[in-house]
Structure 1
Amino acid sequence: MKSFKWFSLAILLSMCSFAAWGQSTATLTGTVTDPSGAVVPSAQVKVHSLATGIDRVIHTDSDGIYVVPSLEPGDYSVQATVSGFSNYTVQKVTLDVSQTVTVNMHLAVSSAGETIEVESTSQQIETQTMTVGQVIDRKTVQEIPLNGRHFLDLTVLTPGGVVAPTSGSLTAPSRGLGANSFITAGNREDSVNFQINGVNLNDISQNQITFQPSISTTSEFKINNSTFSAEFGRSDGSIVTVATRSGTNQFHGEVFDFFRNEALDARNYFNRNFNPTTGLPIVGLPGEKAPLKRNNFGGSVGGPIWKDKTFFYASYEGLRQHQGILQNSTVLTPTQQATIAANAALFPAAAALAKLIPLPNSGNNYVAFTPGPVSIDQYTGDVLQQFSSNDSLHGFYAFQKDVRTEPALQGDTIPGWGDHRAAHRQILTLNETHIFNPNFVNEARLGFNRISIAFNPANLTDPTSVGLGDGLMGNVGLPQTTLSDIGLVFGGPSGFPQGRNDTLGLISDTATLLRGKHTLKFGGEFRRYLSASFAGNIGTLTFVSTPNNFEMDNATVFSVQPNISSSRVYDGALGAFFQDNFKFTQRLTLEYGLRFEWNGTPVEGENRFVLFNPNGNGGPTLTRVGTNGLAANSAYKQSYSYEPRLGFAYDIFGTSKTVVRGGYAYLVDQPASNTVTGLAANPPFSTSVSYNGAAIPVSSLYASAKAAGVAISSINPNFKDAYIESFNLNVQQALPGGIVTSLGYYGSVGRHLRIATNENQATGPAGSPHLYQTLSANSPIDPGVTIASNISEVNSIGSSNYNALWLVFSKNMHHGLELNMNYEWAKSMDINSLGSQGGLSAAGGAPQDSNNPSGNYGLSDFDVRHHFAGTAIYALPFKGNRLVSGYQLSTIVQYQTGNPVNITAGSSSFNGLTGPIRPNQVGHVSTHKSQTGITNVTFIPQSNVCPIGPTLAVPSGCSLQIQATQAAGSSTIVYTGIGNMQRNGVTGPGFADVDLSGQKETKLFRNVMFTLRADAFDILNHPNFGQPSGNTQSSTFGQISATRFATSDGGSSRQLQISGKFTF
């Protein structure tokens, strides 16, 4: 395989170009005809940039067709000139990023020098390509209400986009930073390829966006989410292409500040100042608003350095956010504290830990708003150099520094814990466009992106100072400690400290060759990754009973990684493609291509991958790569693929008004590097242990847990790259008034999707031995050592399917009004939904039975049956002096049905299964919202759950039958079987939101304008609830205790923002 890799590399390096990872430029095409409709060959077509003054000149071919590729997004004029006819000029054509625009020109017989001028043309119908996507233009990016000013939040405006579920990982918004990915067209959150100016902006560790570029520096962006052409690769989900702003021949700039605080916001639904049941006022902290002070400020400037030759654009944007995070928890009562203090000599650990727990200040609870500050600084610079009419260079660099504190991380319920995190993020793009002749254009790219980030516990108490024998010493922090009977969580956070330095370098190129009716594109790309990471785990500690366990220094659950594991994972990828856009007739365009993709196997720089082999010498073994006959750094087989693309666009009447399109694409995904990083944390480089059983003294936690066995991570040696087959058939119709509609079917099937399974599932009922109990005596590492119960194995046996109808309506700005609306009716199903973020847990999507993963098949976590999104921008038609003119309103309206809820039976003790098992569904599960006290809303009534008794319950008026028995007077539930209920079998609450913005633009002098703006997010103050608990054995089953992402930039309550902006 190595020889194949280098052979492929040699072939591609010998080519004249390397494959571009998608394009950030645009293409202009069309046909020139005479008054009779006959084509006009050899007509001169001049394309003039209205921003930079740069011209491109080409001539039509024998069929009267012209194609001008590799144009920077922006506004252009187009002129056709031929002897004996009038000149035909289109004064303004807008080219959007990664778009092919058709401008047909019809000449008239006239005397020399006469010109026919058309004011402007706007192209929204795709007549030349099978790629399905939508451009979010600069006006939309800048002027519609956008809470947090994160451009990825606009992805819900594209067909196929949905509001992400609360169970998401990369899609969950980080405070101040926004989400790291999004959901569209039934694809997983880690299957998106982000790029700026054609250079990849993904964090290879998790396949998320490295950072979101400032709205001020974003010119526009396009999302392709179905059947993209062969020039696009790397990901099997969607492609996001961001075009950055460049300077022009005119100096322009802006200075702005966006301000929010709690005084302008409505209360969150669960942060009430009165009891909704009694109507009485609430006194004290629960009735106070969460503190918030947020300033988002910055400025930019751009213009010419050398007129018509050199242009620059630079920007800065900062964020200072001071937010109080509500923490509310039952704590030890003063009586309990006194009892613990009196017994300090007998139980010193309890006495020391109790001192870290505050006394109640609201009944039996402690309630406080803990500071969670966020600070972000982002700098960008852009230079465009026109060396000659045939050669230009575009450079862009961005750097971001962000610091954040998360006081309630991993569920900490009292102040003083959580983590601090700091990051540096950057990207560099260099794009060179060279026109060898009007029919041969080359785009070369060079770039890198990098993230350096560290997460550290906020509290670094030495565990030995409080009497814990957890295997750690020094100022490292306490394990995340849970008193489960009262719901108190403090310490940690578990899984920390950790950090990584991820770097991507790439070289890529696309060549465009015009040959008659064929527009040929071909090229290749080489990428190289380095992910250097470290990870520790200060662990978890659980006391199931406060009086019997916590007060007596006895714990029942414990885990820890006593040392820091490190890895340097290298990976590479090589690609090549050929694409032909064939103008078969004036009405029919065929598009076909083939992409070759080689994704290398991740390797570790010091051979620290340790592989688990269940069939080793004499039994299960652990072997370090590069030893005992294993190939150096070999974790799984490298793979390559051939990815065909095929589609058509048919202009039914030849008027560019009614177009039918269809396409098919085979799309392969490159796995994230965290697929293998766990292998470097196996023994001997890390000795993670875990314990779950009878109570053990906290003074000897590590010794007791180590005896229970070592934890092992594994990967299937036959792991394969995931792929999606995407297909669609749609029709577009242009209507008068700049209106375009589209209706189509869109579908996909996914195979070899990533999923975590338990390689060491028990062989029988609860208490039965696991399949592998000890390592072989011949194991090169830890011979004869006991194996912990579960072994998490990364597999590629997941599958998915998606079917949808999309309806799109858009209206260009006309008479001051612009509209964009889309509706989706869809169904998405899979075996698991989280991909690279999923582990051996129900939340991670692990199957309840690893011997039967297909039994997990059900609705995707992000499935949404109906989704509607619409935007409107309306410039009020008031004319006159500064006081009455310059008003504008804009809005976003969204509605969607709910995401699925997974109903579980609580325990995983039956048959040694990994995750919680599901019950039998014996009737319709009723759902309705009703208030339950101050802090909860009931969505799934408890009456749905059949009671558990000495014998299997006979359903009577209930719908969820737990296959279990419970003896009278006993608290122990004995599970007897797996239920028939499908995963994600109930639909949760829906989502509805209306955002409104109003602004007044006033001319101060010359070209200096001031804009005063007010934004109202969730203006109707409609609460959008999170998901209810799906655990039938929990006291909170069916209850909702929070709104969607209540502490993020888009909390589920009305929020107001005031801003001011100077522009020139």
Structure 2
Amino acid sequence: MQNKFRRFAVQLAPISLMVIGALQIHAQNAGTVRGSVTDPSAAVIPGATVQLTGGSISRNVKTDGQGKFSITIAPGTYSVRADAPGFTTFMSQTLTVTGGQVTPLDIALQVAAEAVQVQVQDEAVGAVTTDPSQNVGALVLKADDLEFLPDDPDDLQADLQALAGPSAGPNGAQFFVDGFSGGQLPPKSSIREIRINSNPFSSEFDRPGFGRIEILTKPGTDKFHGGGFLNIGDQKFDSRNPFLTQTPPHYSSRMFSFNVGGPLSKKASFMTNFDNRDNSEQSLVNALTLDSSFNTISRNIAFAIPQTNYGISQRLDYQINNSNTIVGRYNFNHSTGVGGVSGFALPSQVSNSSGNSHNVQITETAILGTKAIDETRVQINRRANDQRGSGVLAPVVNVQSSFVDGGSPLLANFTHTSGLEVHNTVTTTLGRHTVKAGGRMRYDDLASNSTSNYNGTYTFTTPNSLSVAAPCLAGIANPTSLDVYRQTQQLLKQGIPMSTILAQGCGPNQFTLNSGIPLASVHQFDTGIFVQDDYRFRPNLTISAGLRYEWQTNISDKRAVAPRIAIAWAPGSKAGKPGKTVIRTGYGIFYDRFSENTYLNTQRYNGSGQLNYNINSTQNPATAALALAAYPAIPSTALLNLQNQAIYKVDPTFLAPGMMQFAISADRSLPGRSSVSVNFVDTRGIHDQRTRNINAFLPGTYDSVLRTGGKRPFAGGDLYSYESTGVYRQRQIVVNASTRFNKHFTMQGYYAYGRVKSNVNGFPSNQYDTSVDYGRAGYDVRHRLNFGGSVGLPLKMSLAPLVTISSAPPFNITTGTDFNGDGIINDRPSFATTASNLKNVKVTQWGTFNAAPLSGETIIPINYGTGFHHITANLRLSRTFGWGERAGSNPNAGG
């Protein structure tokens, strides 16, 4: 399968390069303005002159025989002028050109004798086009469209991910800020435009366009302007958690932001933004613990977790000369927070964190002659994050599905990262070809000091129903992990030694501890080069072909070739009259990175750096009992060394995780400046990354009743290998719709139906037969609905709803025991039969299961349970107050 996948990529590559093989360019990104010029009867006007002017930059072209034109120009705001003999001059001051995007511009000229006002439509709202970046499934938000989004950056990120819809694969949406990856999400007040799911098969990007979010920040202008907001809230406006049984603690939210921008000189402008957030939110603890009399009590706690964050961003725009411009951005962010307390984790697990980040971005754009633009982008970032625990030096006690208490889970951690990212891209227009070529290089340096689990963790689980009867649990029907813990504490109080308690079937069954050298560091370099050709084969047919090659350090694979191809056809289009339907199809291969954080684990837990002890009663129970008998203290080093420690490594045959994606869609223009798109997307993941214990006991050698025997294929203990043997299959049907009925009413949304299966759902339950874990993925949400927009109301008020609805995700059902001795507690029950022991039979809303599967019984599929559906509704009501010069009052503007 691996060789077949590679051969297919190589075979498809020549097709992707069918029209670009002879081009000798390296490096892209600029903006393109494309459209047509017509007369009042909608007939095209050949030979009309179209001119764009901004600052000292001026470009002009003549329309072709079909009245069409295309201008490649640096990003910015331009005035538009169009002339033709016998017609009035058209003028507009408000055209914004975005780097790397195509801006539609259709101009209607009036006959010279008619004294009528001309108009410009900077976007062909509701229209459809064969341009690959103008797919109806893409969502473009700017100006008033941004108003329905939240001001809080965390909420903004969540809502943008919801708007992007179900992205392909398990990694979620990918953000780009001004063309850079991995940047800090800017405050909403500094955002000029957001593009979502645009041009899904472009070879310029390493990941698919479905789920890609591109954010463009505001530049400075030739006039001073500013803005700000203040947001205040407390528990009076906060909904009550239904699981909370007591009065919630104080909750408050304070956010404010302001920005100012304007000219520094005739060639320079600036934009400065400051934002601050001070929130005290609630984290819900819903645990079961014991009182002093060993009775079960419920712990429902709303724990205050204050979070603070402030940031400063500065942008400078400078026009060097008529052909060169440079943009510089600096961002600083500082945050503090409290975490670790939620779910079953009690307040003893609290940790405090703080972080600082610095980010510098420089973009230089050069116009090369009349048909090409070169853009170079450089990003330098530095992040420092620190985390400290409560300081209680005692082991953590984890009673599964009941509570987590005891000592601090960490002492003092810090992570320092430095990164460099360099892009160079060139865009050129050659007749009916628009060609991009370029590359990206990234270097990351990561240093991490981790003291997590240096106090150790004792784990109590549900009793192994296959083992001999546990005397300490006699008389307890269907004992749980909390029952094991209760009996252990009672026997300890009676003075019974821990070794005796373990022999009676109680006590913890696992102890883990990290020790040794806490500091580890890694370096990683990756690069990607690409070439892309958008060929307008006919006025109603565009063929896009591209090829991308990627390479990175820390894995041996150097063959990540990613061809892409897409076709857009407008069957009803005629000369001078665009069609109302566009059919699109595309295919591409995409690759993911092997992350530096994953590689860091292999450097940290390599057997000589940081030591990772895993004492488990299912593996060598006699020696494990000696260490577990130290409970509740930390076992001695001599006892810990009786069992081998866990080691992490990268499989030497590891291949870059890849996916093959096919999509076909139909875009349709509707009356009332509306459009709809129906999309089918088929994605197949190959070489997906997962972790497997390659030194687990060989099948048939381990006695799960006596917990004895067990032969390993290699010397030593557990050996966790990062492999690229995972697969997944995802199919989606997505319906997008949008309308801009008038300036008072806009709405956009989507409905998505999807299915996804995978065998990458955490550790395998059977280390030697991973096929038993192929099933519903954890992110297999069948139905999603999202819509939002803006509705203008009287008195200059506006209403902006944003609603997200999703059906229930699946979850895995496990027994809480380790039947195969692999040290991983993720074994699943079987469907109960008449042969099942009734004491092990569990009746649930999802079925009747046997928690101690017998030979011949069918193990339930992975992620067999179904959770709860999710509904989020946000509603924003706003009122606009204005003063000064009325917008659009320029008497020289023609429309």
TM-score (structure 1 length as normaliser): 0.70
Q: Are residue 211 (structure 1) and residue 144 (structure 2) matched?
A: no
Question: What is the rounded CA distance, in whole Å, between the counterparts of 2:862 and 2:270 in structure 1?
Answer: 54
Counterpart of 1:598? Answer: 551
**Preserved contact between residue 535 and residue 566 of structure 1 (Cα < 8 Å):** yes
**Preserved contact between residue 185 and residue 802 of structure 1 (Cα < 8 Å):** no
Counterpart of 2:247? Answer: 288
| Structure 2 counterpart of 1:964, one-letter code | A
Q: Are residue 574 (structure 1) and residue 527 (structure 2) matched?
A: yes
**Preserved contact between residue 218 and residue 271 of structure 2 (Cα < 8 Å):** yes
Assess, with a 3 A threshold, how the Cα gap between structure 1 residues 109 and 331 changes in structure 2: closer, same or farther: closer
Deviation for aligned residue 1:577: 1.4
Deviation for aligned residue 1:768: 5.0
| Structure 1 counterpart of 2:391, one-letter code | L
SS at match of 2:880: strand
Q: Are residue 492 (structure 1) and residue 493 (structure 2) matched?
A: no
Q: Are residue 381 (structure 1) and residue 298 (structure 2) matched?
A: no
Counterpart of 2:476? Answer: none
Q: Deviations over 1:840-897 (max 9, x none)?
A: xxxxx22211212222111121112111111131111x3xxxxxx2211111122221
Counterpart of 1:724? Answer: 659
**Preserved contact between residue 303 and residue 311 of structure 1 (Cα < 8 Å):** yes
Counterpart of 2:783? Answer: 866
| Structure 2 counterpart of 1:864, one-letter code | V
SS at match of 2:491: coil
Question: What is the rounded CA distance, in whole Å, between the counterparts of 1:958 and 1:55 in structure 2?
Answer: 68
Q: 2:669 aligns with which of 734, 748, 758?
A: 734
Deviation for aligned residue 1:915: 4.3
Counterpart of 1:154? Answer: 159
Q: 1:435 aligns with which of 367, 376, 388?
A: 367
Question: What is the rounded CA distance, in whole Å, between the counterparts of 2:846 and 2:331 in structure 1?
Answer: 58
Deviation for aligned residue 1:1000: 2.2
**Preserved contact between residue 201 and residue 565 of structure 2 (Cα < 8 Å):** no
Q: Are residue 1006 (structure 1) and residue 894 (structure 2) matched?
A: no
Question: What is the rounded CA distance, in whole Å, between the counterparts of 2:122 and 2:209 in structure 1?
Answer: 34
Question: What is the rounded CA distance, in whole Å, between the counterparts of 2:561 and 2:687 in structure 1?
Answer: 16
**Preserved contact between residue 285 and residue 344 of structure 2 (Cα < 8 Å):** no
- Structure 2 unmatched runs, 5+: 1-22, 461-484, 499-506, 618-624, 888-895
Question: What is the rounded CA distance, in whole Å, between the counterparts of 1:443 and 1:46 in structure 2?
Answer: 22
Deviation for aligned residue 1:198: 1.1
Counterpart of 1:81? Answer: 83
Q: 2:612 aligns with which of 652, 670, 688?
A: 688
| Structure 2 counterpart of 1:195, one-letter code | F
Deviation for aligned residue 1:705: 2.5
Question: What is the rounded CA distance, in whole Å, between the counterparts of 1:507 and 1:811 in structure 2?
Answer: 38
Deviation for aligned residue 1:898: 0.9
**Preserved contact between residue 409 and residue 419 of structure 1 (Cα < 8 Å):** no
Q: Are residue 563 (structure 1) and residue 524 (structure 2) matched?
A: no
Q: 2:595 aligns with which of 668, 672, 679?
A: 672
**Preserved contact between residue 919 and residue 960 of structure 1 (Cα < 8 Å):** no
SS at match of 1:158: helix
Q: 1:186 aligns with which of 165, 168, 176?
A: 168
Deviation for aligned residue 1:567: 2.4
SS at match of 1:231: coil
Deviation for aligned residue 1:755: 0.7
SS at match of 1:718: coil
Question: What is the rounded CA distance, in whole Å, between the counterparts of 2:842 and 2:595 in structure 1?
Answer: 47
Assess, with a 3 A threshold, how the Cα gap between structure 1 residues 679 and 37 changes in structure 2: closer, same or farther: same
Question: What is the rounded CA distance, in whole Å, between the counterparts of 2:558 and 2:592 in structure 1?
Answer: 11
Question: What is the rounded CA distance, in whole Å, between the counterparts of 1:759 and 1:865 in structure 2?
Answer: 34
SS at match of 1:584: strand
Q: Deviations over 1:262-287 (max 9, x none)?
A: 1222321112xxxxxxxxxxxxxx32
Deviation for aligned residue 1:313: 0.4
SS at match of 2:418: strand
Deviation for aligned residue 1:805: 1.3
**Preserved contact between residue 91 and residue 118 of structure 1 (Cα < 8 Å):** no
Question: What is the rounded CA distance, in whole Å, between the counterparts of 1:705 and 1:226 in structure 2?
Answer: 55
Deviation for aligned residue 1:977: 6.3
Assess, with a 3 A threshold, how the Cα gap between structure 1 residues 829 and 369 changes in structure 2: closer, same or farther: closer
**Preserved contact between residue 919 and residue 978 of structure 1 (Cα < 8 Å):** no
User: After alignment, is 378-387 or 691-700 more displaced?
Assistant: 691-700
Assess, with a 3 A threshold, how the Cα gap between structure 1 residues 950 and 650 changes in structure 2: closer, same or farther: closer
**Preserved contact between residue 842 and residue 850 of structure 2 (Cα < 8 Å):** no
Q: Are residue 228 (structure 1) and residue 160 (structure 2) matched?
A: no
Deviation for aligned residue 1:1006: 3.1
Q: Deviations over 1:886-942 (max 9, x none)?
A: 2111111222211112222332214657442333447xxxxxxxxxxxxxxxxxxxx
Identity %, equivalent residues: 22
Q: Are residue 547 (structure 1) and residue 463 (structure 2) matched?
A: no
SS at match of 1:141: helix
Q: Are residue 123 (structure 1) and residue 124 (structure 2) matched?
A: yes
In the TM superposition, 1:740-889 aligns within 5 A as: 740-763=675-698, 764=700, 765=702, 766=704, 767-772=707-712, 775=715, 787-788=716-717, 790-812=718-740, 814-833=742-761, 845-876=762-793, 878=794, 885-889=795-799
SS at match of 1:142: helix
Question: What is the rounded CA distance, in whole Å, between the counterparts of 1:759 and 1:108 in structure 2?
Answer: 76
Deviation for aligned residue 1:255: 2.4
| Structure 1 counterpart of 2:326, one-letter code | L
Counterpart of 1:986? Answer: 865
Question: What is the rounded CA distance, in whole Å, between the counterparts of 2:251 and 2:240 in structure 1?
Answer: 12
Question: What is the rounded CA distance, in whole Å, between the counterparts of 1:408 and 1:368 in structure 2?
Answer: 10
Question: What is the rounded CA distance, in whole Å, between the counterparts of 1:314 and 1:813 in structure 2?
Answer: 35
Q: Are residue 446 (structure 1) and residue 378 (structure 2) matched?
A: yes
Deviation for aligned residue 1:580: 1.0
Question: What is the rounded CA distance, in whole Å, between the counterparts of 2:830 and 2:866 in structure 1?
Answer: 17
Counterpart of 1:964? Answer: 852
In the TM superposition, 1:25-104 aligns within 5 A as: 26-32=31-37, 43-48=48-53, 55-60=58-63, 65-69=68-72, 71-72=74-75, 76-83=78-85, 86-89=88-91, 92-93=94-95, 98-104=100-106
SS at match of 1:548: helix
SS at match of 1:402: strand
Question: What is the rounded CA distance, in whole Å, between the counterparts of 1:829 and 1:722 in structure 2?
Answer: 16
Counterpart of 1:626? Answer: none
Q: Are residue 637 (structure 1) and residue 556 (structure 2) matched?
A: yes
**Preserved contact between residue 40 and residue 64 of structure 1 (Cα < 8 Å):** yes
Counterpart of 1:395? Answer: 328
Counterpart of 2:812? Answer: 902
**Preserved contact between residue 450 and residue 501 of structure 1 (Cα < 8 Å):** yes
| Structure 2 counterpart of 1:824, one-letter code | A
SS at match of 1:154: helix
Q: Deviations over 1:722-765 (max 9, x none)?
A: 11112211111122221111112122111111111111221234
Question: What is the rounded CA distance, in whole Å, between the counterparts of 1:860 and 1:366 in structure 2?
Answer: 32
Deviation for aligned residue 1:148: 6.0
**Preserved contact between residue 594 and residue 644 of structure 1 (Cα < 8 Å):** yes
User: What RMSD, in angstroms, separates the aligned Cα atoms of the two structures?
Assistant: 3.5
**Preserved contact between residue 481 and residue 541 of structure 1 (Cα < 8 Å):** yes
Counterpart of 1:940? Answer: none
Counterpart of 1:584? Answer: 537
User: How many residues are paired up?
Assistant: 802
Deviation for aligned residue 1:423: 1.0
| Structure 1 counterpart of 2:870, one-letter code | F
Question: What is the rounded CA distance, in whole Å, between the counterparts of 2:697 and 2:246 in structure 1?
Answer: 49
Counterpart of 1:522? Answer: 437
**Preserved contact between residue 412 and residue 491 of structure 1 (Cα < 8 Å):** no
Question: What is the rounded CA distance, in whole Å, between the counterparts of 1:251 and 1:129 in structure 2?
Answer: 37
Deviation for aligned residue 1:228: 2.5
| Structure 2 counterpart of 1:422, one-letter code | S
